[in-house]
Amino acid sequence: MAVPRLLRAAAPRLYSSVPAPVPAPAAARPRAVDDKLLSEPLSHPDFFNVKELFSLKDLFDARVHLGHKKGCRHRFMEPYIFGCRLDQDIIDLDQTMQHLQLALNFTAHIAYRKGIILFISRKRQFCHLIESTARECGEYAHTRYWQGGLLTNAHIQFGSGVRLPDLLIFLSSLNNVFEPHVAIRDAAKMNIPTVGVVDTNCNPCLITYPIPGNDDSPAAMELYCKLFRMTIIRAKDKRRQNEVFDELRSKAEGN
């Protein structure tokens, strides 16, 4: 099974997530600078400027506004639907822009704070694309059959001291039998925030940052993968840059 290898591969990041004695932190840096490093991005509404990564035209050309037929519509997706044209639902891209900006901003903050991100999708057509996207950003992906207790029973299935993901990104929130993916409910149980692309036949309820949009066309999936990859890489680079600045500053103050 790929998942335990994936989670354990990040050896430097493993630490006890159960209330157990925390190993003595080797923090030579003073607390004030640490706080500034983490609190400075929170003061801006769009610190990582994720808005410039996409435009309405990009979403439109990638066919993000195309939904399923009227008969497949989920009742809770109705606020996000612009209208219905000859029985095909059209998703409102103005709302999608807002939701996508919020979701990308949140993902960037999680990546900045060195959180573990797990990409999930059960669409066989795009599983290779998602796995390579995850590999390129240095994060994780799970595009195979989801065993029942992966999140809720982790300490028994993987042994104690396993760190769970800090964010789940659903590039398609349904499984192979058109039911909501089990991980959405499990993440809500484990207090893990979720970002998810919801099509017109999906249930957006338990997803923290839903992105109403098409999850069936290759063009749309490539766009989402590109946006998430750019956001995560940008946030990680920013973190590295800030840490280097802090080190230089503390050295200068020390001298």
Partner 1 sequence: MAAAPPQPRPVRLRPPRAGDLGVARVKVHAVPSTRTAMAAPSWGLAAARAGVRLRLPAVRRCGGAPAAGAPDAGTLPQQTEERPGTGTAATGPRQVPSEKSESFASMLRRSPLIQMGPAKDKIAIGRIFHVVEDDLYIDFGGKFHCVCKRPEADGKKYQRGTRVRLRLLDLELTSRFLGATTDTTLLEADAVLLGLVESKQTKQKE
Q: Please provide residue 136's backbone torsions phi and psi, each rounded to the nearest 5 degrees.
A: -65, -35
Strand order in the sheet with 140-142: 140-142, 117-120, 167-170, 194-198, 209-212
Is residue 98 a contact residue for partner 1 (CB under 8 A)?
A: yes
Between residues 74 and 185, which has the closer beta carbon with respect to partner 1?
A: 74
Site map 99..138 versus partner 1, x via CB under 8 A: x-xx------------------------------------
Among 7, 41, 54, 68, binds partner 1 (CB under 8 A): 68
User: Which 188-217 positions form the footprint of partner 1 (CB under 8 A)?
Assistant: 201, 214, 216-217
Q: Could you tell me the two tokens for 233?
A: 């890489």
**Closest alpha carbon to 121 in 138, 144, 150, 149:** 144
Residue 202 Cα distances to 74, 76, 107, angstroms: 6, 8, 21
CB of 54 vs partner 1, minimal distance in Å? 13
CB of 163 vs partner 1, minimal distance in Å? 27
Cα dihedral value 124, 126, 127, 129, nearest 10: 160
CB of 252 vs partner 1, minimal distance in Å? 33
CA pair distance 184, 194, nearest whole angstrom: 7
Is residue 38 a contact residue for partner 1 (CB under 8 A)?
A: no
Q: Looking at 31-80, which runs of residues are DSSP E strands?
A: 66-69
Among 56, 132, 135, 237, binds partner 1 (CB under 8 A): 56
Is residue 169 a contact residue for partner 1 (CB under 8 A)?
A: no
Q: Which residues bind partner 1 (CB under 8 A)?
A: 45-46, 51, 56-57, 60, 63, 65-69, 71-76, 78-86, 88-90, 92-95, 97-99, 101-102, 178, 201, 214, 216-218
